[in-house]
Structure 1
Amino acid sequence: MPPNSPAAYPAALMVSAAFGGGHRQASAAVAQALAARLEGRIQLDEVDAVDMLSPLERALIVGVYDFWLRHWPAAYHAFYRWTDSANEPVAVLNTFNWLGQAGFRHELRQRQPGLVVNTFPTTVALADTVRRRQRLDFLNVLVLTDYRVHHHWARPQADLILLPTEATRQEMLAWGMDPGRLTVTGLPVSAEVTRLSGLDASRRQAEMLQALGWTEMPEAPIILVSGGSGVYRGFDEVIGTLGNLGTRAEVLVVAGPKAPCTEMVGGARVHHLGYRQDFPVLLAGAALLIGKAGGMTVAEATALGIPLIVYQPIPGQEEHNARHLLKQGAALWPRTRAELRRAALNLLDPGVRAQMAQSSRVLGVPDAASRAAEVLLTRLGWEA
Structure 2
Amino acid sequence: MMRHDNPKAIKLLILYASYGDGHLQAARAIQSALEKRGHVQTAVLDLMAKSHPLIHGMARRFYRSSYTKLPSLYGWMYGFTRPMKHDSMLGSFLHAFGRGTMNGIVRQEQPDAIIYTFPSYALPPASKQAARHIPSFAIITDFDLHQRWVHPRIDRYYVATEDLKTELVSLGISGSRVAATGIPLKQSFKPRAATAELYKRYGLSPALPAVLLMAGADGVTPAVLELGERLLARSGALQVALVCGRNESLRKAAALRFAGHPEASRIRVFGYVEPIHELMSLASCIVTKPGGITLSEAIAANLPIFTYRPAPGQELRNAVYLAERGAAVIASRPGQLVSAITRLLASPERLEQSRSALRLLQTAGAADAIADDILARFSLAQEHVQAVGGRGRLLTE
- 1:69-104: CA deviations, max 9, x gaps? 121000011101111224799332112222123433
Q: CA deviation at 1:366?
A: 2.7
**Hey, what does 1:259 align to over in structure 2?**
251
Instruction: Tell me the distance in 2 between the aligned counterparts of 1:88 and 1:6.
Output: 36
Q: Tell me, in whole angstroms, the C-alpha distance in 1 between the residues paired with 2:355 and 2:127.
A: 45
What are the residue-to-residue correspondences of 1:1-384 with 2, within 5 Å?
A: 7-36=7-36, 38=37, 40-86=38-84, 90-122=88-120, 125-129=121-125, 137-193=133-189, 195-196=190-191, 199=192, 201-203=193-195, 206-207=197-198, 209-210=200-201, 212=202, 214=203, 217-229=205-217, 231-234=219-222, 235-254=224-243, 255=245, 256=247, 257-259=249-251, 261=255, 263=258, 267=263, 269-349=266-346, 351=348, 352-381=350-379
CA contact (8 A) 2:10 2:39 kept: no
| Structure 1 residue 9: Cα displacement | 2.1
Distance in 1 (alpha carbons) for counterparts of 2:26 and 2:333: 31
TM-score, with normalisation over the residues of structure 2?
A: 0.83
Give the whole-Å Cα distance in 2 for the aligned partners of 1:131 and 1:243. 63
**CA 271–146 in structure 1, closer or farther in 2 if over 3 Å, else same:** same
8 Å CA contact retained: 1:115, 1:138: yes
Aligned partners of 1:350, 1:35: CA distance in 2, in Å?
Answer: 45
Identity %: 24
Supply the distance in 2 between the matched residues of 1:144 and 1:310 (Cα, whole angstroms): 21
The answer to whether the Cα contact below 8 Å between 1:258 and 1:272 also exists between their aligned partners in 2 is no
Displacement, 1:153?
Answer: 1.6
Residue aligned with 1:310, SS = strand
TM-score if structure 1 supplies the norm length?
0.86
Equivalent AA in structure 2 for residue 16 of structure 1 = Y
Q: CA deviation digits over 1:218-274, x for unaligned, max 9?
A: 533221111122532412443343233232542222215523537255646433311
Contact 2:228 2:242 in 1 (8 A): no
When residues 174 and 300 of structure 1 are mapped into structure 2, their CA distance, relative to the original with a 3 A threshold, is same
Distance (Å, rounded) in 1 between the aligned partners of 2:305 and 2:106: 40
Query: Take 2:132 and 2:107, find their aligned partners in 1: how far apart are those partners?
Result: 8
Distance 2:323 2:262 in 1: 30
- Give the distance between the partners of 1:130 and 1:88, measured in 2 at CA: 15
The whole-number CA distance in structure 2 between the counterparts of 1:117 and 1:166 is 21
Query: Which structure's CA Rg is the greater one?
Result: 2
Output the amino acid matched with 2:209: P
- The amino acid that maps onto 2:285 is L
- The whole-number CA distance in structure 2 between the counterparts of 1:224 and 1:43 is 37
Structure 2 unaligned runs (5+)?
383-397
Quick one: distance in 1 between partners of 2:364 and 2:302?
10
What is the number of residues matched between the two proteins? 367
The answer to whether the Cα contact below 8 Å between 2:221 and 2:289 also exists between their aligned partners in 1 is no
**Paired residue secondary structure (1:158):** coil
Task: Give the gaps of 5 or more residues in structure 1.
Answer: none
User: Does the 8 Å CA contact 1:98/1:129 hold for their aligned counterparts?
Assistant: no
Q: 1:283 to 1:111 in 2, by over 3 A?
A: farther
Moved more, 276-285 or 84-93: 84-93
| CA distance 1:89–1:114, change in 2 (3 Å) | closer
Residues 338/18 of structure 1: CA separation in 2 closer, same or farther (3 Å cut): same
Bigger drift between 305-314 and 265-274 goes to 265-274
Describe the shift of the 1:281–1:134 C-alpha distance in structure 2 as closer, same or farther (beyond 3 A): farther
CA distance in 2, matches of 1:150, 1:266: 47
In the alignment, the residues of structure 1 paired with residue 129 and residue 308 of structure 2 have an alpha-carbon distance, to the nearest angstrom, of 45
Q: Deviations over 1:40-67 (max 9, x none)?
A: 3211211123422423311332121111
CA–CA distance in 1 between the matches of 2:235 and 2:334?
A: 15
CA contact (8 A) 1:243 1:266 kept: no
Q: CA deviation at 1:376?
A: 0.8
- Counterpart Cα distance in 2 of 1:360 and 1:230: 26
Structure-1 separation of matches of 2:286 and 2:371 = 29
Compute the displacement of 1:206 (Å): 3.7
- Structure 1 residues 106 and 226, CA gap change in structure 2 (3 angstroms): farther
